[in-house]
Structure 1
Amino acid sequence: MSMKKTMIISAALATVAAGLAVTDSAEARAKKEKCYGISLAGHNDCSAGPGTSCAGTSKKDYQTNAWKLVPQGTCTTIESPTSPTGFGQLAAFKEVKK
C-alpha cells in the first residue's frame, strides 16, 4: 500500500474514532444529572453559580449553587447537610442552617 493511501486511511480512522468519542461522552452525559449541594469544596463540576467560575472552584463543602454530575435518578438520595430535605437537589437552593 502506498504511503499516501496509508495516510488517508489513518486520517479517516482518526475522524471516525473522534466522532465515536464525542457520541460516547454525549451519551454518558445524557444518563447523568446535575446534583446541587453534594460536592465538597473544590470538587464541583463546571459552571456552578455565583462565587464559582468553573470546575473545582466551589469554596465550601455542600455549597448550594455548586453541582456534580451524578447518575440520573440518584441525586435526591445523596446526603446534603445544607439542603432543606437533607439530600441533593436538582436545582440550586438556599442553605438551611441547622
Structure 2
Amino acid sequence: LRELQNSLQTEQNLKQELQDECVVLRKRLEKETNGSETIETQLRELQNSLQTEQNLKEELQDECTVLRRRLEEESSGSENTETQLRELQNSLQSEQNLKEELQNEC
C-alpha cells in the first residue's frame, strides 16, 4: 500500500511539474506571438512608408521632367528672340550706314 501511495504521489508530482511547464510554455508562446504581431505590424508600416516615398519620388521626377522641358522651351524662345534682336540691330545698322552714304552723296 505504501508503495502505491508513493507511486501515486510521484505521479501527482510529475503531473504538477508538467502543468507548471505548460503554463510557462503558454506564456512564452503568447509573448512570441505578440512579438511576431508587433514585428508584422512594423513591417507593414515600413512597407507603406516605402511605397509612399517611392510614389513621392516618381511625382518629383515627373515634375522635374516637366520643368526641364519648360526650361528648354524658354531657352529656345530666348535664343530665337536674341537672334531676331541681332538681325534687327544689323538691319538698323545697315539702314543707318545707307542713310549716311546717301547724306554724304547729297
TM over 0.5: no
TM norm structure 1 = 0.37
Q: TM-score, normalized by length of structure 2?
A: 0.35
Which structure is higher in helix share?
A: 2
Larger of the two Rg values belongs to structure? 2
**Larger RCO (alpha carbons 8 Å, 6+ apart):** 1
